Structures are given as structure tokens and as C-alpha cells.
Amino acid sequence: MQTLIRQPKSDVAERPFMIIWETTHACDLACRHCRAEAIAEHDPLTLKFEEAKRLLEQVESFGKPRPIFIFTGGDPFKRDDLFELLAYGKQLGLIMAVSPSGTPLLTEANLRRIKDNGGKAMSLSLDGSTAERHDDFRRVPGSFEWTTNGWRIAREIGLKLQLNTTVTRYNLTDLPNIFRLVTEYGAMTWSLFFLVPVGRGKAEDEISPAEYEAVMHFLYDCSKYVSAKTTEGHHYKRVILQRAILEEKGLPWQDYFQLDPMYYELRAALDQIVAEKQLVAREQIFRTPMHINAGNGFVFISRRGEVFPSGFMPLSAGNVREKSLVEIYQDTPLFRVLRDPSQLEGRCGLCEFAGVCGGSRSRAYAVTHDPLAEEPFCTYEPGSFPFQEELAAYLS
């Protein structure tokens, strides 16, 4: 039996699987959805070089297996000391990645310096399959060209690359064409980010809950050809389990879901691309998603050192200038309660998938101001999946 939902190798109550640090507020883009509401200038209260080194030391003190540490922003290339910090992290033995913006700073020289100083991977964001679509979303002409060129260079020099796409009403029907680019350029993973209305992200830019479900089924179809996952779309893990069980039984899976017409539009476009490119589907999905969630295997540190369960959940549990990241992550009430699925409310609290999904705690907080509220963009009714015995075998 394939492991459909991967679990971190260590106890997430003791150490996170992934740590993201917002290195700076500065960025030369003005993206529609920006969580950080980034601007071109630096925040003077940002962690200084020596403070950032102490943060890296705190990450190292979690012990092995090391958390994955990601330098994000804003644009981390706007920090003059980025490469020195990477080198220090390498000296400490950290596993590091960088998430730069699609700007003129995304050069071959800078990407090689990431690799030379210990960066193992990077992520880039592509939100449209053409310059017109992507640049409109990023609000800066040329971003598409800088991004795709950086994507090509990263692959050439041997940096592992994750491609991120934020799903909004602006690019919903363009997702198959972005999939086409993923198959042509190649990427370690294609991650669909489901919008959380924070920062410049607006509720009116969201797709509907029914369209969420449609996109997740579309992504499952894509995962037979490329490695795919979601960010802030945790109920994709439910879809994977449901689809896998129905496929194992040889049942017509579409009979078990009432899918929005958008699914069939996306699927038709996908089928056309598959036929044109003569892609061959695998029997199983390429790479199963990791079960981590806000505060539960995941932690975000702001540019000022504030520790949040997620970059999309602005609830501070402390500051690394005043207290160790290890202590904040392991012991604060906010993080403890987010790691306890029995505390979930509404449909999430009743759901048999709560132990591997839990819904987006960030979206729950953004919509209701309660981080334990039910996932507001999930359409599933707990207990309605007919094959509970087979499901239990995967959940045990």
C-alpha cells in the first residue's frame, strides 16, 4: 500500500519540519496577493546580521533531523548579507532554500551564489502562463521573463526548484497552461497556493469553495504526470485519499462527487495537453504531500523576529529577540493547541480526515478570527465518504 500522506520523520511537537524566515519587507514587485504587502524600502526594525545569525543558531539547536529553513521575503536578494547568512547556515549544517522574487536580481550569478553558499533548493512563483497574465498579477512588466529565465538557470546549475502558483479568479482557467510549462521546463514540485485574504490578498479575489474542490481534483489528475502539492489547501489530502481508494476499487470516481463544472473545463484542457505532448500517466501519484499545518510542523518568523504559526496567520507567539525559537515552538499555548486535532471546531472537529488534514488554520483565522474554526472553503460533510473501513486502513 502506497503511503499517500507522508508524515515528518520526527515528532512535530519537538521540532518543525519547515521554518520560513521573512528576511526583509523589501521587494521590487507589487503583487496583487502579497501577504507581506511588500514595498521597495527596507523596514529599519528588521533583524540585523548578528541577530539573524543567532536565529540560525536557534534553528540548529532543534537538533536532527534538521528542519528545512527557507529564506523568503519580500525578496531575500534585497538583503546585502543573504549570502553570508547562507554560508553561516551551511557552517551550522542547516538544510536551506531560498524563495526569491522574479526581478532583475534573479540572475545566474546570484543563483550560483545561492548554491555555492549552501542553498539546496529554491522556489519561484509563476501565476500566469504568459507574460501578459503573469505580469498583470505581479504588477511589474518583465517579471514573467525574469522568472522563467531564473527557472531555466536553476535547473541548469542543479538547484532543486519548486514552482508556486497562487490560485485566484484571475488565473483559474489558466492552470492547465501553467501545467504545460511545468512539464516543459521541469520542476521538483508544482505547488498550488490557495489564497488567504491577508495583506494585499482580498476575499473577492478568492475562487469559490466548489471551485476549490474542482481545482484539487484537477491537481490530483496532474499529479499522475508531475509532482504536485498544495499550500493552504490542506483538504487536497482528503481528495487524494478518496480518489486513491475509489481507483483501487475500480469504481467510476466521478459518481461519488458533485463537482463544479470548472473541474470538467480544467480536465478537458489537461487531456488536450496530455494528448499533444504524449504524456504517460503513472498508476500512482508522483509525490505524496506532507502532513504539516500552521504551528504543526511549520513555523514562520517575521522580519522583526515575531514567531507565527504561519505567514498567513498574524498571531504572534513570541519574538526570537526575547526568547528561543525552540521554546516558543514547543511550549507556547498557541502552538500546542494547533497541534491538537481534538480542539478543532465545526465540521473540522467532526471530520474523519482531521488527523491528516485539519483544514487551513490560516484561512479559518482570516475569515472568523478563530484559528480553530472549521475550514470555510471545504465542501466535505464529515462521514459522507462511503468507504470508511478502507479509509481507516490509510489513517491508522
Write out pLDDT tens, residues 127-159: 999 999 998 888 789 999 999 999 999 999 999
Q: What is the pLDDT of residue 1?
A: 46
Question: Residue 317's pLDDT is what?
Answer: 97
Terminal-to-terminal C-alpha distance of the chain: 12
Residue 137 confidence (pLDDT)? 84
> Mean pLDDT across the stretch 95-118?
96
The pTM of the whole model exceeds 0.85 = yes
Kindly report the CATH class assigned to 18-277: alpha beta
The predicted-structure confidence for 253-272, as pLDDT tens digits, reads as follows: 999 999 999 999 999 999 99
pLDDT interval class at 299 (50, 70, 90): very high
User: Which residue has better confidence, 139 or 365?
Assistant: 365
Q: Residue 244 pLDDT > 60, yes or no?
A: yes
**pLDDT, average across residues 28-38:** 58
pLDDT band (50, 70, 90) for residue 214? very high
Percent with pLDDT over 70 in the chain: 95
Q: Is the pLDDT of residue 197 over 50?
A: yes
What's the pLDDT score for residue 3? 72
Decide if pLDDT at 77 tops 50: yes
Q: How does pLDDT run across 286-296, given as a tens digit for each residue?
A: 777 888 999 99
